[in-house]
Homo-oligomer: A and B are copies of this chain.
Amino acid sequence: MQTAASEPIDGVFRALADPTRRRVIERLGRSAASASELAAPFDMTLQSFSEHLKALEDAGLVTSRKKGRVRTYSLAPKGLQVVEDWLSAQRTLWEQRLDQLDDYLVKLKETRS
C-alpha cells in the first residue's frame, strides 16, 4: 500500500526514534566499542540490546567487524547523511517559499467564503 518498498531512510529514522539506539550513536561518536561495552550502561539483556545494534547496522548507521569472539561497532561515516540531506531539502523548500506568499493566499482563500 505504501508508495514504494519502504525506503532506506525509513529505517534510519526508525532507528533514531529509540532513545537506547540514539545513545549508542552518541557513545560511538566518542569511539568504537564492543557489543558488551556498549550494552553495559543499559538495564537490558544482551540479547535485546543486540537487536538494537542490528537495527542500527541495518539502517546503515553503524558498522561492525568481528574479531575472535568480540564484535566491535563503529559509526558509519555516511550514516547520518541521508537524514541531513532530507532535512536540508526541506529547509530549501521552506526557504524558497517567497516569504509565506502561499500561506497568505491560502489564508485569503480560507477567509473568503
Contact = CB atoms under 8 A, between A and B. Distances in A.
Given A19-B2, A106-B72, A94 B13 contact: no
A16 to B, nearest CB: 5
Given A87-B83, A113-B68, A94 B75 contact: yes
Interface in A1-23: 1-4, 6-7, 9-10, 13-14, 16-20, 22-23
B70 A110 contact: yes
A80 B70 contact: no
Interface in A55-77: 67-68, 70, 72, 74-75
B30 A106 contact: no
A90 interface: yes
Nearest to A29: B93
Contacts of A103: 31-32, 74
A10 B106 CA distance: 31
